[in-house]
Structure 1
Amino acid sequence: MAYQFITMQQYERILTITLNRPPTNPLNGEFGLELFRAFSEAEQMDDVTVVVIASALEKAFIAGADIKEMAAQDPAEAENFSKLLQGANDILSRMKKVVIAAINGHALGGGCELAMACDYRLMTSGKALIGLPEAGLGIIPGAGGTQRLPRLVGLSKALDILLRGRTMGPQEALEIGLVDRLIAPENFHEEVMAFARELAAGAGKALGYIKAAVREGIDLPLEEALAVERKYSAENHRTHDAKEGLTAFIEKRKPNFLSK
């Protein structure tokens, strides 16, 4: 599938999705639709274990929405735009692949929301900002921010960020759990890909089922959540990787996982 603002490249079991809408990857309807299509395409790629979402731009991951387009929207259009971005981000959360947000620059508004839908957020150390400044513009986050932020950092911290429209630097984001790791800018790409390769070397099916069990069970009563875990445990037990991992342990050798 051809994209105007996105490049997709596969390196063995790693898929990179690189965003390129200068100057700061602002989100508008056209870009949002491309994200939805690209994430849907990635979800269906059975030979991919890890997805890395990165930016081709030097100082911005996604620095928010296209404000001029948002200002022209009527309420129905604003709701549809919110639904589109929420839908794209939901694909990242539900796909049975590990998704890494490679945050090389500002991740504000919709950029922060997209990153929060990923499983890992790796960010450059330095002066880049991350957060949800919408309240300062008289609007609210509409791509999942009000729901995902409290689940990541806790209710009190999330409310403070949301109500004051706060942005923050990488160190604070790391301390409150909004990002998982800081990497020096000069080593960023290499370390992100090394981490992706480490994950991709594992049992891809098991990683996917673990993610699905956690995501689906986290808001359920414990008894129902344990049923979700049993279901995915049984499904995973049918895979090549499960048989290979157990056999390799018995035979005292390194397993050859194929993500099958």
Structure 2
Amino acid sequence: MMASFYIGKEKQLAEIRKHLEKFSGGSVNLKKRGDGLAVIELNQPEKKNAMSGKMMVDLHDAVEELHNWTEGKGVILKGKDGNFCSGGDLDFVRQISTPEEGFMMSTFMQNTMNKFQRLPMISVALIEGIGGLGGGAELSVACDFRLMTETCKGIGFVHLKMGILPAWGGTNRLVEKIGPTKALEVLSTAKIFTPTECLKLGLADDIVPRSESPIDFALSWLGKRTQFDSKLIRSVKASVTSAKESPRDFETERRTFAPFWGGPINKEALLKNIKHKPEPS
């Protein structure tokens, strides 16, 4: 028997947006800082920051705004009040329970998260509290890095428990992060993996110590990876994204490299012989 396959018609994003906007609840807030770092906060704490239709539209708009922020170097995706994201808002989900509406939501969220992943900024998911469950797990793997607090529940692609499959691009991204064999294990068991297990799997990049403020730790962690000029950071992220989407894309690499060769930053580094100086302790 073949896997199920939806054959309905595609709808325009503007039409889907108008439909999703009807389902209120929560918000997604964007804060841009003077140091080139931004924070996207999922804000529906009474539902562990589960995503409503309105929040999906808000997230899309936040990503669009970041695409136009030429000084941006990094972005943290987090949830309000110490929880990351428990997935889709079940009150909203129950109201769009037809395959056609599910396909529309999937189309919209895949588009948003594809744009998010292609931002010329380094992205970090800060996973706390309830962790990233279902759609929350999918949001986490759309980020370049994942930081988890010691006490958070974990990351769980729990979709099969709900009788569904990932719909926001999570399957592709999970395979990309940890390989097909481990991805199949994660998806087919629908298990919630603890922070320690996520580190071993390659789903987490660091654990936030209990003694530290999670957001302060995340900002410092991201700051170390965005310390250079914004043009350099944005170009290196664009190069990595292009290489990932088009393997062995050497043309993009050389075209993004060439403008910096012999440029002001390169010349200054050559004068100071930076490459051969020891790292500050």
TM-score (norm 2): 0.81
Q: Corresponding residue for 1:204?
A: 230
Does 1:162 pair with 2:187? yes
State the SS of the aligned residue for 1:200: coil
Give structure 1 stretches of 5+ with no counterpart: 255-260
Give structure 2 stretches of 5+ with no counterpart: 1-24, 275-281
Quote the offset at 1:53 in angstroms.
Answer: 1.5
Distance (whole Å) between structure 2 residues aligned to residue 107 and residue 26 of structure 1:
10
Q: Which amino acid aligns with 2:246?
A: L
Q: Corresponding residue for 1:8?
A: 30
The worse-fitting range, judged by mean Cα deviation, of 78-87 and 200-209 is: 200-209
Quote the offset at 1:203 in angstroms.
Answer: 2.4
Q: Corresponding residue for 2:246?
A: 220
Pick from 69, 79, 84 the counterpart of residue 55 of structure 1: 79
Cα deviation, 1:184-210, whole Å, max 9, x if unaligned, reads 244122211112322332122222222
Q: Corresponding residue for 1:251?
A: 271
Q: Which amino acid aligns with 2:40?
A: I
Q: Which amino acid aligns with 2:179?
A: G
Q: Corresponding residue for 1:70?
A: 93
Quote the offset at 1:253 in angstroms.
Answer: 7.4
Distance (whole Å) between structure 1 residues aligned to residue 173 and residue 160 of structure 2:
16
Distance (whole Å) between structure 2 residues aligned to residue 38 and residue 236 of structure 1:
29
The worse-fitting range, judged by mean Cα deviation, of 141-150 and 14-23 is: 14-23
Q: Which amino acid aligns with 1:197?
A: G
Distance (whole Å) between structure 2 residues aligned to residue 195 and residue 28 of structure 1:
30
CA RMSD of aligned residues (A): 2.1
State the SS of the aligned residue for 1:139: coil
Note closer, same or farther for the CA distance 1:227–1:163 as it changes in structure 2 (3 Å cut). same
Quote the offset at 1:235 in angstroms.
Answer: 4.6
Distance (whole Å) between structure 2 residues aligned to residue 147 and residue 220 of structure 1:
14
Distance (whole Å) between structure 2 residues aligned to residue 249 and residue 235 of structure 1:
15
Distance (whole Å) between structure 2 residues aligned to residue 54 and residue 185 of structure 1:
17
Q: Percent identity?
A: 26
Quote the offset at 1:134 in angstroms.
Answer: 0.4
Distance (whole Å) between structure 1 residues aligned to residue 107 and residue 128 of structure 2:
26
Distance (whole Å) between structure 1 residues aligned to residue 118 and residue 234 of structure 2:
9
Contact in 1 for aligned 2:118/2:238 (Cα 8 Å): yes
